[in-house]
Amino acid sequence: MSYNILDIGDHVLVDNSVVSREMHSHLPYANATFNHCDEIRIPIQTQDIYTLPSESYLYIEGRITDDGKESATLKFVNNGLMYLFDEIRYEIGGCVIDRVRNLGITTTLKNFASLTQSESNRYKSIGWSVSDPPAFVDTKGDFSVCIPLKLLLGFPADFTKILVNIRQELVLIRSSTDLNAVTSTMENTKPKVEIFKIIWKMPHIQVSDSEKLRLYKFIENGSNLELAFRSWEYHEIPLVPETMKFNWNVKTTSLLERPRFVLFALQTAKKNAIKENASHFNHCHITNLKLFLNSEMYPYDNVNLNFDKRHFAIAYEMYAQFQRSYYYKTFCYCI
């Protein structure tokens, strides 16, 4: 410390490797529609650019109505906009590198485990609200949101470097119904969520001449670019056997892409029910849970849950430790 304060001749280091970062809009194909079950493709046609997918986001404009009429009882559920899409895919060079199915439930569970309290407050503007109904819609039902792509896919969440001179495409598939995205106190409500605009906002990076030369040499040498990230797989068992104990076999791989983390949740009578909230989950009086990965068992001890007596401290501790393991954090500030 004493040496640092006396080094008055120390030179100031200025990093000019990145000249600028501009946010560019990329639109779906001209004939794209945003109705139920539609496939929406958003390409980045220009290949002579440097992009930063981890900082990109989706801009969405739309309106929620009760069969075309304004409604005071119709509300989005928590993370409701994600329930409007069945699937999202990220394609690079014509190859699918990452995919998430059942976007609503997948991202809801991931957000519950990953977001800190401050992040949870920040994302209220995109419809993430744990305790209160989301308040990002005006009285006429109009809304506009900017959803970070890192909340939707594992690739932009983990891979934080630029992509150089390569074609990219984002594919969204609309859900067949809007019922899971909204809730209402009226049984005869006919929800209608119209999407008017979807734009993929992507940072374009301008670099200095020296960095451009270095990147050019990297490409000319034919070096492989390793895209290391963790993908999110969704598995569902629609009908649980009415027994005290059952096994659920899920096919995975034992190689590089073997499972690292598992989030487990239960729901009862939430799907396609207008008076229910599809973003809520049920404990179903579960008492124990074991995950067998080949010969390994997780957790080693029984958790012995009893929700009637509020005996779920061990389960909550496992939930609270997720951020430390997944993000290598020293301190965890879970919701």
Give the pLDDT of residue 133: 79
Give the pLDDT of residue 254: 62
pTM here is 0.91
Find how far residue 51's CA is from the centre of its chain. Answer: 20
Per-domain boundaries in the chain:
18-220
Two structure tokens written together for 137: 């819609």
Contact 218, 50 (CB under 8 A): no
Tens of pLDDT, residue by residue over 217-247, are 988 888 788 889 999 999 999 888 888 898 9
Give the pLDDT of residue 96: 96
Give the pLDDT of residue 251: 80
Contact 48, 207 (CB under 8 A): no
State the average pLDDT for the chain: 92
Amino acid, res. 272: N
Tallying the residues shown for the chain, one arrives at: 335
Q: Which residues of the chain have pLDDT under 70?
A: 1-3, 253-256
Give the pLDDT of residue 5: 79
- CATH number of the 18-220 domain: 2.70.9.10
Give the pLDDT of residue 159: 97
Give the pLDDT of residue 284: 92
The CA distance from 330 to 137, in Å, is 37
Two structure tokens written together for 268: 């009862």
The CA distance from 112 to 120, in Å, is 9
